[in-house]
Amino acid sequence: MVILTLNCGSSSAKYQVYDWDAKDILAVGIVEKVTLGGSFINHKVKGKEEYTAGHDCPTHTDAVDLIIKTLTDKEHGVIGDMSVIKAVGHRVLHGGDKFTKSVIVDDAAMAAFNEVKDLGPLHNPANIMGIEAAKKVLPRAPHCAIMDTAWHQTMPPEAFLYAVPYEWYEEYSVRRYGFHGTSFLYTAKRAAALLGKDPFQTNLIIAHLGNGSSINAVKNGCSFDTSMGITPLEGLVMGTRSGDADMAMPFYVMRKTGMSAAEMENVLNKKSGLLGVTGKYADRRDIQKAVLAGDKRAALAQDMEAHRVKKYIGAYQAVLGRVDALVFTAGVGEFAAFMRKKILDGLEDAGIIYDPVKNDMAHTRNAETIISRDESKIPIYIIPTDEELVMTEDAYALMAGTYDIHTKFSYSFQNRDYVNKSRAEGLREELAKYPELKSIIAVPK
């Protein structure tokens, strides 16, 4: 059985083609800078050279079309036609209070996704477009929605409720939902395996840092608190989102400028964050280039982002008490050593001590690495996330009738001996070029 997963983020569309019987990845890739201009596809097929090509994708529908054309391309593709795909797993950001776990997509589910899409203005429309585009090409294959909020359903009321009139929660489902659930689920299970601990006796702080960023306090293997709220706007400084801000500030600016509520919502979600501070850049790579060129506002944006993450780490240490590990994941968390340095500098008294040399070496998606010094009370892991694998396993289990919430369901990657065949192959190639990387690879205890 071959399963396709589509993960349409705010400015990207990731995909994976997975051979369930062989437990192996046939192809993986991403379309980056979707809607931002200068978009391109990076496509990897087992046994072939990596393929990258620029292609304008003003919408996520265009990105899905590009993915399908690439997968079936005679030279760069991996399948003859889309009929070999027997199931599709889709990431869906927000289900409001209507969904607490992954579901098979039907008309009622699609109607519900559309009903709550305003709660995820950057992602839900992209998720919906991805499902609609894929269903046109694969109308007979079951399409499964992997709910990004499901992981956080274990948060206690003191963490998920807002101090606003309680009737808002009762009547309008106003509460903290949290996001990046598939990423947190994967990295939490993998961190427990690396630590040699029962996942449900493990306390973690996980920083998912990408264009959209959030941080998660994991207590006894379950989500206990998280930085994002009723929508993905709250929390950390992100690519185009403001993150935490005084709720009275928008009203003040609206009175001064005459902006409407819709205009303000658009600014806070799409024109704020790093883009708002720099005036030019939302992508961390562009910001780092600008910093090195002496751009002071780009440097300020970096400092603000790191400061916010550092504050949440301290807050979640207080909330959890015991912390078994700090984990970085997602594009920035996995690759941006300069951002990890800014975040980790000064945390020594909190028992978090990183090794600058190890931090600079950690730049791979093919291995889990450890960048803490031996004397650090709290180990610091970089765990490349694998949301696509979570989506694949959920999709298969939904079809097989064996799916359940993660506290009652076992994933393959929970096993300490789990091996991602594709990443293992990529790691062998990396080690041939950079043998020093071996010194920071995290080995399960």
Residues in the chain: 445
CA gap 268, 256 in Å, rounded: 16
Which structure tokens are listed for 411?
Answer: 């994933």
Q: For residue 208, give the nearest of 330, 97, 50 by alpha carbon.
A: 330
Identify whether the C-beta of residue 91 lies closer than 8 Å to the C-beta of residue 33. no
Amino acid (one-letter) located at 379: P
**Counting beta carbons within 10 angstroms of the beta carbon of residue 231, is it exposed (0 to 12), middle (13 to 18) or buried (19 or more)?**
buried
Which structure tokens are listed for 319?
Answer: 């909330």
CA gap 418, 214 in Å, rounded: 26
**Strand partners of residue 145:** 90, 103
Which structure tokens are listed for 37?
Answer: 């201009």
Q: Residue 51 CA to chain centroid, in angstroms?
A: 23
35 CB-near residues (< 8 Å, 6+ apart) = 10, 11, 57, 58, 59, 60
Q: For residue 236, give the nearest of 274, 285, 191, 266 by alpha carbon.
A: 274
Amino acid (one-letter) located at 148: D
Residue-wise over 179-188: b if at least 16 C-beta within 10 A, else e? bbbbbbbbbb
Which 3 state secondary structure label does DSSP give 398?
Answer: helix
**Counting beta carbons within 10 angstroms of the beta carbon of residue 402, is it exposed (0 to 12), middle (13 to 18) or buried (19 or more)?**
exposed
Is 19 considered catalytic here?
A: no
Which structure tokens are listed for 86?
Answer: 């027997």
Query: Which residue among 148, 283, 324, 355 is the active-site one?
Result: 148
- Helix 124-137 and helix 60-71, axial crossing angle in degrees, nearest 10: 40
| Residues annotated catalytic, as ranges | 148
